[in-house]
Amino acid sequence: MYGLLWLIPIVPFVGFLILALFGGRIKRQIAGIIGVGSVGISALITILVGINFLASPPNGGSFTQVLYSWFRVGNFAPSIAFHLDGLSLVFIFIITFVGFLIHLYSAEYMQDDEGFSRFFAYMNLFIGSMTTLVLANNLLLLYLGWEGVGLCSYLLIGFWYTEPENGYAARKAFIVTRVGDTAMAIGLFLLVRTFGTLNIQSILHSASVSWPVGSSIALTVSLLLLGGAVGKSAQLPLQTWLPDAMAGPTPVSALIHAATMVTAGVYLIARMNVVFTLSPTAQLIVAIIGALTLLLAGFSALTQKDIKRVLAYSTISQIGYMFLALGVGAWSAGIFHFMTHAFFKALLFLGAGAVILAQHHKHNMFEMGGLKDKLPVTFWTFLIASASLAALPIITAGFYSKDMILWHAFADSKGSVWLWIAGIVGALITSVYTFRMVFLTFYGKSKTEISYHPKIKIKIALVVLGFLSFAGGFIELPDSWGHFALLSDLLKSLFPAPTLIHEGAGLEIFFQAISAVLVIGGVFIAYYFILKNPAFSLKFKESKLSKYWFSGWGFDWLYDKVFVTPAVFFSRINKSDFVDEIYTGIGKLAVLGNKLFSLTQSGRISWYAIGIVIGGIITLTIVVFL
């Protein structure tokens, strides 16, 4: 079964090629079948491979399939090869399975759009690139997938290209992630120079052998890779692109900007965990970035009007949790949270898409309401997902993963009580803004008429994801409840085990109780301020603090002043390109010379005769005197 591994990225690429070349000529139904079907085949193969992996794991815990040698320059010879282990298995399962559901959803969501086959072409290309990224066995192939998903993100954000705003949002996303990509590329250069290869397993092995803990080279490489990760995952300081990326169609936001692409940074850090472990400073920085981002984004989400922007800031915040987990050394917890987050965030976006369809394509939550009874399937699945996001105790998947992160943030040797406090405040805020969103959208008086009821494809996607958001957490119970840790067992061999400084089941249950109380309290706070007493929130909206949080803590303004304005200024004064002027100047000089010399040809005989005489004088002078 492992031999089919290479099909997982290739089938979506083939789907992309077919749709790109023939998409305009085939019928819409066929395009849809190809688009959804290719990801479906990928998901099927993933499940088969996964079953094989879990039933009889390969030797050494991983399986490598080399397709062919890419190129060879001196001793550097990367190849197109795929590497399957527990980590990449989790990722490809999420990517293909959630991706398949989202493709199914889009077949209905985009049915009236004229760019139907173009959409599925881009989406297939994305799935192919993302699976390449997580299955790559060397960093160069990973970088290929990295760039591929960046490209698809650009193409899909600006999908409705006739609207200039979408183009600007796409451009902003691409440029901001590019800054991160450059840092990552420099990190790759350092690795090649140090080790002569980009093969991940070789690097991890060589680094653990030859780099001392806390060495500057480990710190530099870690920080550079972290730069790439924060760009792709929209963390501080490169988080400004994700809220604007909501200009794309909702399935795009669900797939790329919730479940998969933005988690590429998490994957990178998890994959290169040896390098990060060798540099405690870098790991601490990862945790701090995670903690700050989750608070920053949480407060911003509290003030948003657009339903998709709330979810965008929520994504930034939740990925902050994953970074926090990775930073304190709770690797499995971070991956677990990635898994549950993919389920409930994708579901939230899909549900929001269904709501948008039903409300005449409006996004403003304050113009929605009373949809609870009119869109039942949407409402109940949205509610389950929101509960999972808020991490309501026991019955939701999000509870298990978020709790694991919070416990490790406090108890791990690399954690601290401050990180835990940040996490717990973040949990409270998450609960508040999540249920604010639910109450505004589904409860209260109906302000807009229903324009569209979702049909079977949308409903299937919503229901399946809803089930997973509920049950997906049961594969990993906390230590205090017993040892039922399927995911950690899968990933055990890949990561160093977390070292806890505070032990004890009782302590753990105490912390769980604190977070449970805060989360449920958040629900009631939201209920009070949105449904019972809306006047206060309306007054708060006008305040300066609210506006500051609304603009994403002013980062857009800051970057505009510091980076954009000088760059535009310099490009404006260099409009005629002084380097080019040097070359055209040579040409102009030649023309000037021509004009000057053509003056000497006056056509008059006497002029030429004088020329001859002068020449004669010069020659005689040379002969006589020299």
Partner 1 sequence: MQILFYIAGIVAIASTVMVITRTNAIHALLNLIVSLLAVALIFFILGAPFIAALEVIIYAGAIMVLFIFVVMLLNVTREGIQKESKLLNPSSWIIPGILTAVLLIELLLIFSGVNQGLYNHAYRQVGSAVISPKQVGISLFTKYALGVEMAGILLMAGIVGAYHLGKGRKTVVHRYLSELTPVKSGEEETKNG
Partner 2 sequence: MANISVGTGLLLAGILFMLGLLGVLIRRNVIFILMSIEIMLNAAGLAFVVAGAKWSQPDGQVMFIFILTMAAAEVSVGLALILQIYKRFKSLNADNLNRMKG
Footprint of partner 1 on this chain (CB under 8 A)? 610, 613-614, 616-617, 620-621, 623-625
389: Cβ–Cβ under 8 A, 6 or more apart, which residues? 314, 318, 344, 345, 348, 398, 430, 434
Neighbours of 504 (CB within 10 A): 12
Q: Which does 614 bind (CB under 5 to 8 A by kind): partner 1, partner 2, none?
A: partner 1
User: Per CB under 8 A, does 576 bind partner 2?
Assistant: no
Rounded CA-CA distance 173/150 in Å is 9
Structure tokens, 432: 């508040």
Nearer to partner 1 by Cβ, of 535 and 622: the residue is: 622
| Nearest one of 429, 472, 415 to 290, comparing CA atoms | 415
Q: Which does 602 bind (CB under 5 to 8 A by kind): partner 1, partner 2, none?
A: partner 2
Q: Which does 603 bind (CB under 5 to 8 A by kind): partner 1, partner 2, none?
A: partner 2
491: Cβ–Cβ under 8 A, 6 or more apart, which residues? 86, 87, 90, 331, 332, 335
Rounded CA-CA distance 266/230 in Å is 9
Rounded CA-CA distance 559/622 in Å is 71
Q: Which does 595 bind (CB under 5 to 8 A by kind): partner 2, partner 1, none?
A: none
User: Per CB under 8 A, does 624 bind partner 2?
Assistant: no
Least distance to partner 2, CB of residue 591, Å: 14
In the range 589-618, which residues lie near partner 2 by CB under 8 A?
598, 601-606, 609-610, 613
Least distance to partner 1, CB of residue 600, Å: 16
Nearer to partner 2 by Cβ, of 586 and 612: the residue is: 612
Q: Which does 620 bind (CB under 5 to 8 A by kind): partner 2, partner 1, none?
A: partner 1
Least distance to partner 1, CB of residue 622, Å: 11
User: Per CB under 8 A, does 532 bind partner 2?
Assistant: no
Neighbours of 529 (CB within 10 A): 18
Neighbouring-strand partners of residue 328: none
Per the CB < 8 A criterion, the answer to whether 97 and 43 are in contact is: yes
561: Cβ–Cβ under 8 A, 6 or more apart, which residues? none
Least distance to partner 1, CB of residue 599, Å: 17
Q: Which does 558 bind (CB under 5 to 8 A by kind): partner 2, partner 1, none?
A: none
Nearer to partner 1 by Cβ, of 504 and 611: the residue is: 611
Per the CB < 8 A criterion, the answer to whether 170 and 48 are in contact is: no
Buried/exposed 371-401: b ≥16 CB within 10 Å, e otherwise: bbeebebbbbbbbbbbbbbbbbbeebbbbbb
Nearer to partner 1 by Cβ, of 58 and 615: the residue is: 615
Nearer to partner 1 by Cβ, of 596 and 623: the residue is: 623
Nearer to partner 1 by Cβ, of 51 and 617: the residue is: 617
Least distance to partner 2, CB of residue 588, Å: 20
DSSP letter string, 147-202:
HHHHHHHHHHHTSSTTSHHHHHHHHHHHHHHHHHHHHHHHHHHHHHHHHS--BHHH
Q: Which does 617 bind (CB under 5 to 8 A by kind): partner 2, partner 1, none?
A: partner 1
Q: Which does 601 bind (CB under 5 to 8 A by kind): partner 1, partner 2, none?
A: partner 2
Least distance to partner 2, CB of residue 607, Å: 9
Nearer to partner 1 by Cβ, of 471 and 613: the residue is: 613
What does the binding site for partner 2 look like in residue numbers (CB under 8 A)? Answer: 598, 601-606, 609-610, 613
